Amino acid sequence: MNLQARIKGFVTLGQQLSDTNNALLIEAKSAAYQQNAWFLPTFIDQAIEQIREQFLQQTALEEWTAAYPSIADQATHLKVGIVMAGNIPLVGFHDLLSTLIAGHTAVVKRSSKDQVLMDFIIASLIKINPAFEAQILVQEQLKNCDAYIATGGNTAGNYFEYYFGKFPHIIRKNKTSIAILDGTETLAELAALADDCMLYYGMGCRNVTQIWVPEGYDFIPFLNALKKYNYLQDQHKYKHNYDYQLALLMMRKQLYMDSGGILMSENPSPFAAISQIHYQQYPLGTSPTFNMDEIQCVVGKNQLPFGSLQKPLLAQYADGVDSLAFLSSLK
């Protein structure tokens, strides 16, 4: 299967994902929510829309792959093991797409939290072009692969480094995202920042879990912007996290703010528990300092636009590591 055939297959997949009457898609979304209650139907729809609009448009795919001329006539078909995360719906799709577009065989270990949707995507690709069947292998143990792309937490990342370190690899560990505010943000920008924070319950590495604000910042407009996500408390797991984090803050007699369903507290750590957003203050006229090794994205003025974090483009690679360049270099 040449590059154009691979691109055509993914473009067709995008067209099928846009069909609101697709009975198999409707069934898969329902089953995914039943399997994993964190995958709200609205969140599944948003994840699929992002994939369809940003990853599966023909022009975007052609422009993306044009920067890697070697994949057009890729003669070496290697086995690439992919360990997928499952914190948000279809978070492993970009790795699958990149591996197949590069002409390699994807040996996939799905997350137990996101099996239904990934199985649907794989089955759809094979139905669109049966040649994909030989290029996608689903396995629980990734053995005898030529290279690996693995995503997980810090503990899992250390495990991956131990077992996959002698092979060409991309290993991703815990990261999160932050926002830098200067106090001049519009209500529309704050509403978009609320999306950056709370889509997918804030569980993605591209979700903002800490905001930097100038000293004396008025939090009320942002707290009001967060209120549109107070409905997340209807999910009992989220409500349990919220109640637990609130109890901790109260027992510690720590100052906190509450939108009615989302907690904010001053904390130097960029990593925040589910239902919480941390904040730090900086003197106006200075720039915040933080450890970029822990940060996936920064949103704000002169940074990535508010509301863009859960809409990455094809070439906005996780951890800034160009996975398609990595895949196209494999021989």
Looking at residue 72, its pLDDT comes to 74
- Domain range summary for the chain, segments of one domain joined by +: 3-174, 176-300
- Per-residue pLDDT of 178-206, as tens digits, reads 999 999 999 999 999 999 999 999 999 99
Do 3-174 and 176-300 show the same overall fold? no
pTM metric for this prediction: 0.95
Question: What CA–CA distance (Å, rounded) separates 250 from 173?
Answer: 31
Tokens encoding 18: 């846009």
CA 16 to chain centre: 22
Question: pLDDT tens, 33-92?
Answer: 999 999 999 999 999 999 999 999 999 999 999 999 888 766 668 999 999 999 999 999
φ/ψ of residue 121, rounded to 5: -60, -45
Mean of the per-residue pLDDT values of the chain = 96
Q: How confident is the model over 164-191, as a mean pLDDT?
A: 97
**pLDDT, mean of residues 115-122:** 98
> Residue 188: exposed, middle, or buried by beta-carbon count in 10 A (0-12, 13-18, 19+)?
exposed
Q: What's the CATH class of domain 176-300? A: alpha beta
pLDDT in tens, 61-75: 999 999 998 887 666
Contact 193, 177 (CB under 8 A): no
- Residues 275 and 263: beta-carbon distance below 8 Å: yes
Q: What fold does the segment set 3-174 form as a domain?
A: Aldehyde Dehydrogenase; Chain A, domain 1 (3.40.605)
Please give the average per-residue pLDDT across 20-42, as a whole number. Answer: 96
Specify whether the CB–CB gap between 96 and 121 falls below 8 A: yes
